[in-house]
Amino acid sequence: MQRRFRLINYVVLLIVAMLVIAAFVLIFGTKDKIIEAPGQVMPVEYDVVRAGLDGVIEAVYVSPGQTVRKGDSLFKLATPDLNLAASQAAIELKMTEVNLAKITEEYDNLMKSESFETQSDFANLYQAKRAAEIAEKRYERAESLFVKGFISSEDRDDRLLDFELSQSYYLSLKERANLLEKRYLLQIKEQKDKVELARQKYEHATSKLGGVTAVAPITGEILTSNLDELLGRKVGLGEAVLEIGDCTQMNFIAEVAEADMPLVRPNQEARIFINAYPHRRFRTFPATVVRISPLPRQTDGGVTYQTVLLIEDCRVSPDSSSILLKPGLLGKAEIIIERDVRILKIILEKAD
């Protein structure tokens, strides 16, 4: 009986001691004040490759998980309509260039020969000018001879009339030549404008041909898994085809609850727990808050704000450099709001 009473005393003392220790820890103990938010792992550098034009995927040059460098070929689009448009634009450009060359040649020949076709005959501007100059000299000589009394006034008047007719004919030809030159210059300008327009149309058509073969916008890993299903698929301009991410640096995209959002600030420290790697067996992943989305999102858990946390070390184990976190892994983030807070204070705040 005495032994049993002694055992009861020991149990009571042990319970009292545990309560005292618990009370001491509760009153004087501290822990980090945190908020929890679910989320997933995503690469820091991430891009979606979209179709540059309407077409059908006829070849895929990469495989899931393959590492590619910026500028590497990813897939090829068959675009028969675009090829036809480019061919038509090339033909149109060639025709306008030929027409420009023809008009320019006609103009150059006109300027070199100074001749053009009149309504009745083939007139030469140079010859008309020379004839007017000769008629002028003959008239001047006739005027001199008339003053000296060697010829009559009728002969002088005949020379004057010849000069006036020659001069008038030359000036009329010159005026028509000027009009013809202006017409050619106007035609050349219009044809040059047509050539430039055709060239722009051709360059626009051929520039789209660059989108036939899509290239990697960044260096990273192919994250899309169902690449075999892409062959023969019809895609539209801007449609997402595959995803690329640099898996050497990772973010954790956390969905912070609306009520917790005012407590989150950039540069706050955090701990990331990944469901696939229980922290007791592996480890937690230290992270830092980078940015908080200013716009809310409606999720199954209510209104949340996407918060980006940069994971400082993506290695699953500190002893391994080859096993890294993968995009899409789910987990939760513990964002440290305040360090070494009294446990009693945290309990009271939650009770409020």
The distance of Cα 189 from the centroid of its chain, to the nearest Å, equals: 35
* Number of other CB atoms surrounding residue 183 within 10 Å: 11
The pLDDT of residue 197 is: 92
Identify residue 36 by its one-letter amino acid code: E
The pLDDT of residue 120 is: 41
Residue 280 to residue 333: CA distance in whole angstroms: 16
Mean pLDDT of the chain: 80
Residue 234 to residue 125: CA distance in whole angstroms: 67
- Beta-bridge partners for 315: 324
Phi-psi region of 15 (alpha: psi -120 to 50; beta: other; left: phi over 0): alpha
The pLDDT of residue 243 is: 92
Residue 52 to residue 41: CA distance in whole angstroms: 28
The distance of Cα 24 from the centroid of its chain, to the nearest Å, equals: 62
How does residue 47 score in pLDDT terms, banded at 50, 70 and 90?
A: very high
How does residue 104 score in pLDDT terms, banded at 50, 70 and 90?
A: confident
Q: Quick one: CA dihedral 122, 126, 131, 132, positive or negative?
A: positive
The pLDDT of residue 122 is: 44
The distance of Cα 100 from the centroid of its chain, to the nearest Å, equals: 36
Structure tokens at 101: 């060359």
Residue 240 to residue 255: CA distance in whole angstroms: 24
pLDDT tens sequence across 193-242: 999 998 988 887 777 665 588 899 999 899 988 888 888 888 888 899 99
**Local structure of 233: helix, strand or coil:** coil
Residue 27 has pLDDT above 50, yes or no: yes
Residue 163 to residue 123: CA distance in whole angstroms: 18
How does residue 121 score in pLDDT terms, banded at 50, 70 and 90?
A: very low
pLDDT tens sequence across 314-352: 877 766 656 678 888 999 998 988 765 555 455 555 555
Question: How many percent of the chain have pLDDT more than 70?
Answer: 80
* Residues 6 or more apart in contact with residue 205 via CB below 8 angstroms: 82, 85, 86, 89
Inter-residue contact 285 to 243 (CB < 8 Å) = no
Mean pLDDT over residues 19-46, rounded?
Answer: 72
* Residues 6 or more apart in contact with residue 27 via CB below 8 angstroms: 342, 344
Residue 338 to residue 11: CA distance in whole angstroms: 38
Class of domain 28-44+246-351: mainly beta
Give domain limits for the chain: 28-44+246-351, 50-72+216-243, 82-209
Integer-rounded Cα radius of gyration of the chain:
46
| 137 half-sphere exposure, CB direction, 13 A CA radius | 5
Q: Helices 2-28 and 343-351 sit at what angle, rounded to 10 degrees? A: 80
Residue 216 to residue 74: CA distance in whole angstroms: 6
How does residue 37 score in pLDDT terms, banded at 50, 70 and 90?
A: very high
The three-state DSSP-derived secondary structure of 25-59 is: HHHHCEEEEEEEEEEEEEECCEEEEECCCCEEEEE
